Amino acid sequence: MALPVTTRAAPAMPFAPQPRTAGGGLLRRPSPPAAALRIAPPLFWPWQKVKVGPLSVSPMGFGTWAWGNQLLWGYQESMDTELLECFNLALKNGINLFDTADSYGTGKLNGQSERLLGKFIREYEGPMKSPDDVIIATKFAAYPWRLTSGQFVSACKSSLERLQLDRLGIGQLHWSTANYAPLQERALWDGLVEMYEKGLVRAVGVSNYGPKQLLKIHSHLSSRGVPLSSAQVQFSLLSMGDEQMELKTVCDSLGIRLIAYSPLGLGMLTGKYTTSNLPSGPRSVLFRQILPGLESLLTCLKRIAERKGKTMSQVAINWCICKGTIPIPGVKTVRHVEDNLGALGWRLSPAEVSELEAAAMESPKRMVQNIFQTA
């Protein structure tokens, strides 16, 4: 389903006569300043892309949870114009991974995130050989009425319709039902197998799986000849507990790429908020509980950011990259995209990574883990 891309060759031009002085000599044009000859390097080179199964993706992706979510993120359809600008700016800077879910969007806007991504891919005016150039990773909710593998495959087809795509980059199980409906779990796993075998997805992954359950699904998929390519989990300086680090170790041993969602702790690591300046909506409750204990970590983030000439957000995201994950910070404004792009093209030193982790360990509060994450 290649997008129509038209190019027009420039007409051949004869050699223009060279300007000359009154005496007939060639007129020497002033040389452009050295700064004009310098071309800014890309944020990352093609060989620095990251492998996720058969896919090559940018070292950082963007999350689209806010695209359609009115309750937590205050989405309004009037924001769509700026969201399109976010998408275009990301692609122009080499970002090709966008994470979404069939449950993103509140009420009648359910699935809005997928619809917007599909629309934006179609409207993109930059160079794109195929929609496959954009890696869409969507997650399928383990709703209680999705009891068979066929129903899970139908969910994948519905996502493809909203996205206006023939196949997905990564099809992901949004959460495990092992803790409350273990019999449903096997049907969902088989659904991932079927969508992979039918060519509806190029790779499969999971989200909110702990290390033990990850080993189980990896074994099951392997027995069916399907590689498990990714595991998405909350991972940041606020979510670096023993279980998260064990999960990272398991992923590394099995060749599974860890995708880090909420790398900025829902905004707590940006330096934007304080106990007297809380975000609106439900996040304020969580921030009021956790922020008072983050002084050491936020001070360390600020110190390193100033030393590097970066923002606190860029340092926090770069830490995730240094840990070998693909962070997917959420974006809903052009300013968010511009700031997050500044996390690429450089690396924290090993000493700075250790300094941040030591400060994080001193913090008495941690990010509340997703209730759906299994052991």
* Contact predicate 135/160, CB 8 Å: no
- Of the candidates 273, 266, 276, 201, which has an alpha carbon nearest to the alpha carbon of residue 238? 266
Place of tokens 């027009």: 8
* Distance from chain centroid for Cα 287: 23
Active-site residue set: 104
Tell me the β-bridge partners of 20.
Answer: 26
Q: Which residues contact 359 (CB under 8 A, 6 or more apart)?
A: 296, 297, 299, 300, 301
The 3-state DSSP class for residue 231 equals strand
- Of the candidates 287, 356, 355, 350, which has an alpha carbon nearest to the alpha carbon of residue 317? 356
Q: Print burial letters for 312-327: b (CB count within 10 Å at least 16), e (below 16).
A: bbbbbbbbbbebebbb
CB atoms under 10 Å from CB of 303, counted, come to 16
- Of the candidates 246, 274, 261, which has an alpha carbon nearest to the alpha carbon of residue 317? 261
* Contact predicate 109/70, CB 8 Å: yes
* Contact predicate 159/172, CB 8 Å: no
Segments of 143-184 assigned E as strands: 168-173
